[in-house]
Structure 1
Amino acid sequence: MSEPPRFDRGHTDDLMSFLAASPSPYHAVANAAERLEKAGFRQVSETDAWDGTSGGKYVLRGGAIVAWYVPEGAAPHTPFRIVGAHTDSPNLRVKPLPDTGAHGWRQVAVEIYGGPLLNSWLDRDLGLAGRLTLRDGSTRLVNVDRPLLRVPQLAIHLDRSVSAEGLKLDKQRHLQPVWGLGDTRDGDLIAFLEETAGLAAGEVAGWDLMAHSIEAPAYLGRDKELMAGPRMDNLLSVHAGAAALAAVAGSGAALPCIPVLAAFDHEENGSQSDTGADGPLLGSVLERSVFARGGSYEDRARAFAGTVCLSSDTGHAVHPNYAERHDPTHHPRVNGGPILKVNVNNRYATDGSGRAVWAAACEKAEVPFQSFVSNNSMPCGTTIGPITAARHGIKTVDIGVAILSMHSVRELCGADDPWLLANSLVAFLEG
């Protein structure tokens, strides 16, 4: 395999800005939409009638975005090329009764979302971000991006067994962050957020809030060939997909397909929601696009039969301290190019014909790629790939970027790989 080209620092710099500005799925889709707006895309409402005009359009629903570009002269049965990703990451989320505390400490009651590496949340300066729903039904994004919360670890003097037996954390008792001193008062956290957001007292009727590390993404290593940052799983793919879609839409090239970005919420807890990959959002958008261009159910069937989806999600780079946990013949390396994920038990959706589609895109983009399979002695994770394939009858291929520290507050990737992924996605979306 030839050496990959040096990365485009502008792309990776922009990724770091995107990660820092997207502490929640709601912020992530707003930032993706802003990038697409600059590329000429316009938002359409699901409650309005859609027209069949060419150009870029997108739908926002909660923490999900589906965007597509209709080339001039596209027929109703024109197939789609989809980049699928997810916007959510494992974290700590605020409970319905958020104010708690004990022994003079004021705390925030949180619930564990997804499967985070719990120890990575200890002794971090944490902010709080998400979505506030107001009494009139409108929503407001909020981001307290300063040291606000902290989950303090127990001193080793009070737990001498931790060195020999390892750290053992109870999700209910040990992960509740502190945020001040004094007596707990009902409504105090939400009142603080109302004031922060410039809202009147009592205006907030509901919330979807989550903690995040305020430490900024950064290049790492002697030669800055690595990048450390939060929520790479899977905002790295969301960013690459948005960049690729904008590039294809702005290229002016004749396209044999309709390129699509579908970034879903709730992948980390099963995708079963109205904004998850197992919900109806993607199918509804694709079908309405066909029908808006004068298509029939037959045209819809033809379009779906020719459609291919790349499920882009981070995967596991070989870990230098735990190489035995990997398959002995498949050791993806950072900065070695994106990975093709394969699992014959359909935890990933890739098959041989899907591999050929991916290989052709990488060859066109002059991007090297690697293959990943799990060690047979260990269970394999999964993605939106099999869900998308089964729900919509669409050929789907699982790919992504190899990282370390997956599901940690702060993950690690090669600084070349985000750019290499984006280039391969451009080639794929061009058809």
Structure 2
Amino acid sequence: MNKQDFNEGLLGFLDASPTPFHATQNMGLMFENAGFEKLDEKKKWELREGGKYYVTRNDSSVIAFTYPGSRKDYLMVGAHSDSPNLKLKPNPVIKEHGVVKFGVESYGGLLLNPWFDRDISLAGRVSYLDEKNEIQSALINVEKKIAIIPSLAIHLDDKANKERTVNKQTDICPILSTNEDFDFDAFIRWQLDRIGIKNAKEIYAHELSFYDTQKASYVGLRDDFIASARLDNLLSCYVGMLSICSVEADTPMLFIASDHEEVGSESTSGAGGSFLENTLRRMFDDYEEYVEMVRSSMMVSADNAHAIHPNYPSKHDKEHAPLMNDGVVVKINANQRYATNSQTTAKFLQRADSLGQKVQKFVNRSDMGCGSTIGPITATRIGIDTIDVGLPTLAMHSIRELAGSDDAHSLYKILREFHL
């Protein structure tokens, strides 16, 4: 796949995936189109040699894998499906001062200031009781620009450009209407009706998130950049998804996109949970074979990397300051915040070099804290040799992030050809 087609597909995937639920649904459709068979964790698996399979958990995490049978040297690619956002509280409606607004919680390490004065909408999962008295879940996406978080005018805050802070409880409530007759239950029923669910007897719960309605797009004189919400980490999800869809069934490869990375991965569908281990043990139910497979395989933990910010270059170690459109980044940390070691680095660099793909190295400034990824969590839980890599990004955790238009395609070529 050439870079233009790759990036056009990426833009569409970003726009169609406002929540981890939607991202997982879209990846599942892609896997099915590529010949993967869906498995159910609640049923016995009958895996066939030469088959391709995928399985989801909580509607928000997904694993896809080939099953060649004889080969056990898997390339595993790990990413995460969640991104920082504003999540709706269970009882969200606040009616005061002439408007209807929603109470929200900040999910993950969110940059709050960019959320002001944006046209935002709402999407996620709703659980309800159907006409047969059975609990069902459905994904909704309002799509319409239904809310905004207005800034306080500078006339009322003369220090706004010097020391502005944001109170997560009081300052970031999106406003929706001046009609105080607004009924939240009716609003949810209207959204269910839009997708053909007309007889919900009871609305029990929801997991809904606000998102920016501005579409993903190219930016730059020569389309140098891609700007979008949720590049962290749908960028890596897209790369991993396309990579495994592009290899033959006799190539041992696995892709996992886990939820809840932005809040620590400690959940049934997060990297700290049992999803990957459960899947691998069902693929290799003999313990000796399982250990042989784990120790013969390698995990590429793919997450975004901090590109050097041209307006804040001092925030980087100048010898380890990645540039956008200059190649994939290998992320290294002496304290194991990244799982990279010299052996996994050598394997990755050798493969990239053989394919003519550039690679950069990132180390955080020694006097600054370092974020982490699913890499160390997976390496610890599974015991698999792991490398942390990323795609250079600016404005990470903002409502709109920026990445180079070359780098994701470069990582795709490395992963697709890794076993060849």
TM over 0.5: yes
The alignment's TM-score, normalised by the length of structure 1, stands at: 0.92
Q: Deviations over 1:100-119 (max 9, x none)?
A: 13111101111110011101
Give the structure 1 partner of residue 26 of structure 2: 31
Contact map agreement 1:20 1:217 (CA 8 A) in 2: yes
Shift of 1:157: 0.8
Give the structure 1 partner of residue 56 of structure 2: 60
The alignment's TM-score, normalised by the length of structure 2, stands at: 0.95
Identify which of 163, 168, 177 aligns with 1:180.
177
Contact map agreement 1:67 1:260 (CA 8 A) in 2: yes
Shift of 1:400: 1.2
Q: Segments of 4+ in structure 1 off by > 4 A?
A: none
Distance 2:258 2:170 in 1: 31
Q: Deviations over 1:344-393 (max 9, x none)?
A: 10000001011012112212332111000101111011000000011111
* Pair 1:98-2:92 in alignment: yes
Distance 1:66 1:13 in 2: 24
* Pair 1:227-2:191 in alignment: no
Q: Deviations over 1:273-324 (max 9, x none)?
A: 0000000000000110112xxxx11111111111210000001001000000
Q: Deviations over 1:225-250 (max 9, x none)?
A: 11111100000000000100010136
Distance 1:133 1:314 in 2: 32
Give the structure 1 partner of residue 323 of structure 2: 333
Identify which of 148, 151, 176 aligns with 1:150.
148
Distance 2:2 2:64 in 1: 26
Distance 2:43 2:90 in 1: 33
Distance 1:178 1:382 in 2: 34
Shift of 1:149: 1.2
Distance 1:69 1:137 in 2: 33
Give the structure 1 partner of residue 165 of structure 2: 168
Question: Any unmatched runs of 5+ in structure 1?
Answer: 1-5
Identify which of 83, 86, 91 aligns with 1:89.
83
3-state SS, counterpart of residue 144 of structure 2: strand
Give the structure 2 partner of residue 406 of structure 1: 396
Identify which of 277, 298, 320 aligns with 1:308.
298
Distance 1:126 1:226 in 2: 23
Contact map agreement 1:362 1:427 (CA 8 A) in 2: no
3-state SS, counterpart of residue 249 of structure 1: coil
Distance 1:70 1:203 in 2: 42
Amino acid at match of 1:64: S
**Bigger Cα displacement from structure 2, 341-350 vs 143-152:** 143-152
Distance 2:380 2:41 in 1: 24
Shift of 1:33: 1.2
Amino acid at match of 1:194: L
Amino acid at match of 2:148: R
For 1:114-153, list aligned pairs within 5 A: 114-135=108-129, 136-153=134-151
Distance 2:190 2:110 in 1: 27
Distance 1:151 1:188 in 2: 23
Shift of 1:205: 1.6
Distance 1:316 1:121 in 2: 21
Distance 2:362 2:187 in 1: 44
3-state SS, counterpart of residue 254 of structure 2: strand
Contact map agreement 1:86 1:265 (CA 8 A) in 2: yes
**Bigger Cα displacement from structure 2, 326-335 vs 355-364:** 355-364
Shift of 1:146: 1.9
Give the structure 1 partner of residue 107 of structure 2: 113
Distance 1:161 1:46 in 2: 55
Distance 2:357 2:231 in 1: 20
Q: Deviations over 1:81-133 (max 9, x none)?
A: 10000000000001110211311110111111001110111100001111111
Distance 1:202 1:261 in 2: 38
Distance 1:391 1:242 in 2: 23
Shift of 1:188: 4.9
Distance 1:321 1:68 in 2: 42
Sequence identity percentage = 37
Shift of 1:189: 4.2
Distance 2:343 2:360 in 1: 16
Distance 2:127 2:370 in 1: 37
For 1:186-335, list aligned pairs within 5 A: 187-199=185-197, 200=199, 202-249=201-248, 255=251, 258-291=252-285, 296-335=286-325
Amino acid at match of 2:168: K
Count of aligned pairs between the two proteins: 412
Shift of 1:195: 4.0
Shift of 1:186: 5.8
Contact map agreement 2:339 2:379 (CA 8 A) in 1: yes
Contact map agreement 2:128 2:200 (CA 8 A) in 1: no
Q: CA RMSD in A?
A: 1.6
